Structure 1
Amino acid sequence: MNTSALLFIILGFWIFTLQSKIKHLEKLVNGLKDKKPYVPSNEEETVKDELQEVSEELSQKTVALEAEELQSSAQTFKTSRSPREPSKVLVFITNYFTGGNLLVRIGGVILFFGLAFLVKYAAEHSVLSMQTRLIFIAIAAITLIIVGWKLRDREGAYGQILQGLGIAMFYLVIYAASKFYAILSLDIAFALMLLVVIIGSVLAVIEDALPLALFSTAGGFLVPILTSSGDGSHIMLFSYYALLNLGIFVVAWYRSWRVLNVVGFLFTFVIAGAWGVLRYSSDLFSTTEPFLILYFLMYLTISILFTMKHPFKPKNFVDGTLVFGLPLVAFPLQVNLVNTMQYGEAYSAIVLGTLYLMLFQTLRKKERTQLLAQAFLALSVVFYTIAVPYLFDADVSAALWSLEGAAVIWIALKQEKVYTRYFGELLLLASIFIYPNDVYEYRMSLAEYLGFIIIIIATFISAYLLDRHKEQLSKIDTYLSKVLLGLAIILWFMSTPMKLMTYIDSNHLNAMILSLVLGALILFITTKFIQWKVLISTLQAYLVLGMLFFFLNMTHSSYFMHPFEGFGAISFGLLVFVNYLLLHQYDAVWKFTKQLHILALWFISIILTLELHYHADLLKMDKSFIMISIALTSLILSVFLLYPKRYIAWIEPYRNTYQLIGAGGLIGMLILWELQAFSVPPHANLSYIPLLNPLDMLQGLVLGIAYYWIVKNKVSFTQNVKVSFYGILALLSTIFASVIFARAVHMFREVNYRFNSLWRDDYFQAGLSILWSMIAIVLMLLSKRYKNRPLWMAGFGLLILVVLKLFFVELANSGTIERIISFIVVGSLLLLIGYFVPLPPNKERDEEKESVV
């Protein structure tokens, strides 16, 4: 990862947001300043207006029409947008070439370029002697200065432009004399340049002439460029630029000319940057670093002078171009200079951060410089932030960034500074996404895990602070608090399970469950100290997450689940304990308390069922006992739920829910088990006694508990639902009776316990017909006793099934004794039923007949 690029992006974003903030504040203050004060009208005029009468000829229609027109005009004014202000640089260039004496300005520029090219050409072709060339240009420069001085009061800045051109030509003469011809030594050349700088600065200040200053400065900066031959000393170039910047500094002490400051800044750092890219090497550090520091301090001071010397006007009160542009340009140059030194970038960033912090402390107490002080404080934070990754590894840097981001968010919320908060959020999010990418491994060190904890704490605190200050957030920003809380939880589960696996257990599921328990306990304790509704609501997901981890792990398991493997008994025990602790604590607060009670019950049943199944299989038990182990947990829990008349005090309000839905879910699982158990034969090594063996007894008990559940909750069901439940139960009971008979045939007649084998057995067919007929008789007898017509119809339907079976199955083999017996017995039973158990009367029809009579 390119850390430097990221740092510069952060720095650029920070500068952009601060500039936007400054412009916004300046616009507000300027708007207040420009408002015209209210001037009360003359007393006589007021009296006169009051005495004026409204003409009676003005109709109501005319008044309404005028009001409508005024409303339309107001709406148009409201919706119209004011034109956007053009760029200041564009305005200056436009004014330069359109305002004042246009010909003089253009001519001055062309003349200067021509003279510069002439000097270069003469130096290369030796047309004139060196002294002659320089004397001619010097005379021309003096002439322009004198003429410009005399014409300094002429309109269009004519004289000022001539003076500026003359100053620039003097720069040209001195620079050429020292560089190309070696007529002047460097000491004399710089002394003369210093003199020219002083003269130009004094003239500009005395005449209050910005064009003079601009012409002389721009010309001075262009001299090395226009006369360059590709070689030369960078020391001479930068020293020459230092003198030019000194002139700008002197002028800035007396005049707040922003354009002049920006022109000098751009020339200096653009040319210095180009040289650094093309020519710099590490052996030139000692002769380059002092100039960069000097330039930086000069323009830093100029930006402060601009604020302090500028007339107190809200507009342009802080020069954002210099304040923010200077570090944005200078620091990359500094990084390029010190990139071969160990911690060079870090020390540079720390020095800049400290410098800006000292300036903040110095300027913050003055009303005029408070906004500038805030900008310097922001830059101090930025550079301290940048120093971190240069001092530490990427993982440590990201962790420290998170703390810094949280601190910035806290300060920004306290001071209600939107853009500062955005910067803190950017830092925090950067640390969240960078850190796991750098350190996430299956086995992480303690230091790496502590880095995760630092980021989690910083993210959690930031989420809490944002939620506490919702009034400062926009509609979109209000979701950020929940997003950060979610990210903190995700980071917790990315780190803590991995660390636990290195100490206590290599089972990933146990590590996830223990991490969930530990995290929930920490959040639970936290809610005792801070009242955060979002956090309390988030804890509702505790059990759901535990179930999610468990079932996801099941999908990756190709063997029988063993939940209590390793520390599983401890982890799942703690999971259940903490779940009921939270349910008890937030009973009146949570929205989904009932649902969570039921989910917890079912989850406990699933865990214990899987554990019992695992151990039964581990002991190589018979298939029938393995099936019994699957049903035991749900059956026992169902009995404990349905039998008590009262529960524990804090669970008592949910007793009906437990008995209806909780037990209903368990019985539903038992019914599915019942269907699966029908296919299981009895234990091969045990004597089989129908209904008195473990599997039959347990299946019968399941049907009994299902019947009891229907009776217990009958007030909760409609009549149709109850009839449906009873019908399903009756069908299962019939199948259960048939299965008992099939198992008996399997054990005593040694018929293979498979459907095809049993169906082809004549003994089984005959017995099944007789069994079903007897069940039908029982149903019909019950219907007669309870006068229940639907019950009789059910028995009759079963008899119809028996008859169909006799003719389509038994009739094919009517020659066998078994089939003959089945026909005789069933026929006899039908005759007896028709005599003793006739169809019960229809109560509804009888009631209708009685009402008619």
Structure 2
Amino acid sequence: MNTTALFIIILAYWVFLLHSKINHLEKLVNELRDKKRYVPLNEEEYVSTEELTVKDALQEASDETVALEADELQSSVKTFQDSHTPPEPSKVVSFISNYFTQGNLLVRIGGVILFFGLAFLVKYAAENSIISIQMRLLSIAMIAVVLIIIGWRLRDREGAYGEILQGLGIAMLYLVIYGASKFYALLSLDIAFALMLMVVLIGSVLAVMENALALALFSTAGGFLVPILTSSGDSSHIMLFSYYVLLNLGVFIVAWYRSWRLLNVVGFLFTFVIASVWGVLRYRSDLFSTTEPFLILYFLMYLTISILFTMKHPFRPKNFVDGTLVFGLPLVAFPLQVNLVHTMEYGESYSAIVLGTLYLMLFGLLRKKERTHLLSQSFLALSVVFYTIAIPYIFDADVSAALWSLESAAIIWIAIKQERAYARYFGEFLLLLSMVVYPESVNVYGITPTEYLGYIIVIAAALIASYLLDTHPKQLAKPERYLPKILLALSLILWFTSTPEQLIKGEMLYSHTLLFSLTIGALLLFVVTKWLNWKLLIHTLEGYLLLGMVFFFIMIADTLPHPHPFEGFGAMALGTFVFVNYIFLTHYDKVWKNTKQLHILSLWSIAIILMVELPYHARLLHMGESIILIAIIIAPLLLSIGLLIAKKYPSWVETYRREYQLWGVGGLVTVVMLWELGAFRLAPDFTMFTYMPIFNPLDLTQITGLGIIWYWIYRNADALSQQIKTVCYALLAFMATLLATVIFARAAHHFKDVDY
């Protein structure tokens, strides 16, 4: 047997003992609460009337003083305690301290050593004949019976020793029956299973009668350990599966009468995890006909146990649902089912549909009861999960990691509902792991539509988890408070990693797919914010414009050396991008912190887009360099004129009229100034017009530009300081003088053939 496994089992045994101790302490506390307080004789009965009168007078005189002194004393004591009380030790430190300083360690460790020793004794005796087989097994059986009897007599003793001895005896009986049947063939299968069923019933009845979790845990764990400790790899899988059915039947019987979560989890882990990892229970497709019935039976048993836990448990809001069983069961059982049916056509998808339907039916049955309301919601979430993953399985896509992500989001949800930190940590870890594993598991040469659906599942799970964590900050540890933003950022990265791969199949430029992905994703998130009013997501959408402009510059790089943003689907991509941007600006007008700034940036973005696109068409028409230069500045000029002379803006921007005219047009005017300086170096080269000084497109455009600069200064004179106005007018005068000189130079160049 693997030594590591032995240590794991011993650690599990320690946990069982700890539970027993807690149960015993709870009983003592309840007994103490039931005792009546000792009330001393009323001394006032022996006080004379005169003494009473004096006593009452003194009491009335000192009431106020005593109350004040008591308040001050209480405040001082509290301050002293706060400053001198040492921090409480952690649960791990307390557990180690209590375990090694309390109780009888010899009895605790001795029970474990005895069980393992007998287990190896049975195996050794099978290989080396020393005394007769019957005597060996009979001796162990007698020891087991004696331990049960002694444990029964000591059942009321402190420390749960009687319960442990009975559990050890039950486990030894499992060992004897299993060894006699498997190694020596002394018992037929029918007799062996009848005896095991009797032992299961005895252990279950004793555990329920004595309300002894330790007894149930030790007998159950011992029974599950028998085939693991004695496994030789050549036993019948039908016998092993049947043996585990009987053990789980005992867990089921106990669960019917007691809500012992730890016992349920132990049985679940041994049945689906430990036994499978150890190779005791083999879920192979070639054994489908003899294995599938057992897997279904196990699944239904623990599904029923998870429902019983909720219905039998005391009515407390924090203990409605056993999240480990509710979400762990399908998470572990479904991959085993996939392993059994992967050779069958659509086997995985049919299995997912059946599970989705089962959980949906349970939701319908349990949703109307207050006690099972949360459990029914959990089943509804699982139903959605399995219906969702059935689709990619139809197309043979591997969505195991996607299933992890949905399960982890469900675990986080139920952990937050029940305020269970460690379950939440596990869900967070599983989600992050799936977000890393899934992209690595898909085709590196291109994402198929079904694989893309897996991406959508992972992204949706990350968004759900991010929302749940962000809306319950009080439950989060300090490092966890960054996790909602991290999950949201990772989901956006996965979106921009996968979605353009699908859109590019429509023969778009990659930059166009990025912009379309941004617009589609932002609209979907916009719908989510309408439904959830999620503040983190609302403020994340505030970066839509800036990210879109980054993609626009990537678009320009794709079309160099002659930028043409409207090429192909570019016009549609940019048009929808700008349209959606103004939808957001209107809808989040009172929510976003930087709405004014985003309005100005939106104006400048439109100007930049047109400044890049219009020169391309001028070149396409083989216009001269002067017309191409005019095409660059025509959009800022027209936008500036429209914004400065308009008497009324559209209602969705009227609020920001002042900002548009001051800062918006101010930015455009700055561009016009820079353009003017660049245009001074250019001589007229018109091919479609007869050159006339001043009355030609280039000179008129520059004169118009200077006029707009003057009008902007004039309209915003009250908002500009005197110093800024002086600088602006000086620059304007300088540029006007320079323009007059340039116009004269251009005329001389044209009419006198003087070098410009």
Query: What is the CA–CA distance in structure 2 between the aligned matches of 1:117 and 1:526, rounded to whole Å?
Result: 62
2:77 corresponds in structure 1 to 70
Runs of at least 5 residues in structure 2 that lack an aligned partner in the other structure: 1-18
Q: CA deviation at 1:625?
A: 3.8
1:727 corresponds in structure 2 to 730
Task: Sort the Cα spacing of 1:33 and 1:221 in 2 relative to 1 into closer, same or farther, 3 A.
Answer: closer
Task: Sort the Cα spacing of 1:195 and 1:630 in 2 relative to 1 into closer, same or farther, 3 A.
Answer: closer
Is residue 134 of structure 1 aligned with residue 157 of structure 2? no
Query: How many equivalent pairs are there?
Result: 715
CA offset digits 1:700-726 (Å, max 9, x no partner): 454454445444544444443343334
Contact 1:164 1:200 in 2 (8 A): no
Question: Match for 1:559 among 558, 561, 564?
Answer: 561
2:621 corresponds in structure 1 to 619
Query: What is the CA–CA distance in structure 2 between the aligned matches of 1:656 and 1:574, rounded to whole Å?
Result: 27
Query: What is the CA–CA distance in structure 2 between the aligned matches of 1:582 and 1:321, rounded to whole Å?
Result: 42
Query: What is the CA–CA distance in structure 2 between the aligned matches of 1:549 and 1:663, rounded to whole Å?
Result: 24
- Amino acid of the residue matched to residue 670 of structure 1? V
Query: What is the CA–CA distance in structure 2 between the aligned matches of 1:364 and 1:92, rounded to whole Å?
Result: 48
Q: CA deviation at 1:543?
A: 4.8
Task: Sort the Cα spacing of 1:39 and 1:46 in 2 relative to 1 into closer, same or farther, 3 A.
Answer: farther
- Amino acid of the residue matched to residue 551 of structure 1? F
- Of stretches 212-221 and 606-615 in structure 1, the one that deviates more from structure 2 is 212-221
- Amino acid of the residue matched to residue 617 of structure 1? R
SS in 1 for 2:676: helix
2:106 corresponds in structure 1 to 97
CA offset digits 1:646-704 (Å, max 9, x no partner): 76787666555444444443332232222222222343888876556554454445445
Question: Match for 2:683 among 675, 678, 681?
Answer: 681
Task: Sort the Cα spacing of 1:496 and 1:687 in 2 relative to 1 into closer, same or farther, 3 A.
Answer: same
Is residue 86 of structure 1 aligned with residue 89 of structure 2? no
- Amino acid of the residue matched to residue 74 of structure 1? Q
Task: Sort the Cα spacing of 1:144 and 1:92 in 2 relative to 1 into closer, same or farther, 3 A.
Answer: farther
Query: Where do 1:553-702 residues align within 5 Å?
Result: 553-566=555-568, 592-642=594-644, 656-683=658-685, 691=694, 694-702=697-705
SS in 2 for 1:680: coil
Cα RMSD (Å) of the superposition? 7.1
- Of stretches 680-689 and 86-95 in structure 1, the one that deviates more from structure 2 is 86-95
Query: Where do 1:95-244 residues align within 5 Å?
Result: 95=104, 97-98=106-107, 116=122, 119-120=125-126, 123=129, 134=134, 138=138, 184=186, 186=188, 190=192, 193=195, 197=199
Task: Sort the Cα spacing of 1:261 and 1:424 in 2 relative to 1 into closer, same or farther, 3 A.
Answer: closer
- The TM-score with structure 1 as length reference comes to 0.58
SS in 2 for 1:134: helix
Task: Sort the Cα spacing of 1:450 and 1:732 in 2 relative to 1 into closer, same or farther, 3 A.
Answer: same
1:44 corresponds in structure 2 to 42
- Of stretches 433-442 and 718-727 in structure 1, the one that deviates more from structure 2 is 433-442
- Amino acid of the residue matched to residue 70 of structure 1? V
Contact 2:151 2:166 in 1 (8 A): no
Query: What is the CA–CA distance in structure 2 between the aligned matches of 1:357 and 1:627, rounded to whole Å?
Result: 66
Q: CA deviation at 1:427?
A: 8.9
Query: What is the CA–CA distance in structure 1 between the aligned matches of 2:691 and 2:310, rounded to whole Å?
Result: 103
CA offset digits 1:155-214 (Å, max 9, x no partner): 9999999999999998888777766666x5626853884698499769968997989999
Contact 1:204 1:251 in 2 (8 A): no
Runs of at least 5 residues in structure 1 that lack an aligned partner in the other structure: 1-21, 754-853
- Amino acid of the residue matched to residue 86 of structure 1? F
Contact 1:394 1:435 in 2 (8 A): no
Query: What is the CA–CA distance in structure 2 between the aligned matches of 1:143 and 1:668, rounded to whole Å?
Result: 98
Task: Sort the Cα spacing of 1:313 and 1:628 in 2 relative to 1 into closer, same or farther, 3 A.
Answer: closer
Query: What is the CA–CA distance in structure 1 between the aligned matches of 2:166 and 2:654, rounded to whole Å?
Result: 99
CA offset digits 1:10-51 (Å, max 9, x no partner): xxxxxxxxxxxx99xx99x99997994896967936899994
Contact 1:201 1:251 in 2 (8 A): no
SS in 1 for 2:95: coil
Q: CA deviation at 1:423?
A: 8.9
Contact 1:97 1:106 in 2 (8 A): no
Contact 1:273 1:333 in 2 (8 A): no
Query: Where do 1:771-850 residues align within 5 Å?
Result: none
Task: Sort the Cα spacing of 1:95 and 1:643 in 2 relative to 1 into closer, same or farther, 3 A.
Answer: same
Contact 1:345 1:387 in 2 (8 A): no
CA offset digits 1:93-141 (Å, max 9, x no partner): 9747347xx99x7997699579747844663x7xx7x5xx635874896
Task: Sort the Cα spacing of 1:733 and 1:402 in 2 relative to 1 into closer, same or farther, 3 A.
Answer: same
Task: Sort the Cα spacing of 1:737 and 1:447 in 2 relative to 1 into closer, same or farther, 3 A.
Answer: same
Task: Sort the Cα spacing of 1:615 and 1:30 in 2 relative to 1 into closer, same or farther, 3 A.
Answer: farther
SS in 1 for 2:734: helix
- Of stretches 325-334 and 661-670 in structure 1, the one that deviates more from structure 2 is 325-334
- Amino acid of the residue matched to residue 559 of structure 2? S
Query: What is the CA–CA distance in structure 2 between the aligned matches of 1:729 and 1:556, rounded to whole Å?
Result: 38
Q: CA deviation at 1:403?
A: 8.4
Query: What is the CA–CA distance in structure 2 between the aligned matches of 1:270 and 1:517, rounded to whole Å?
Result: 45
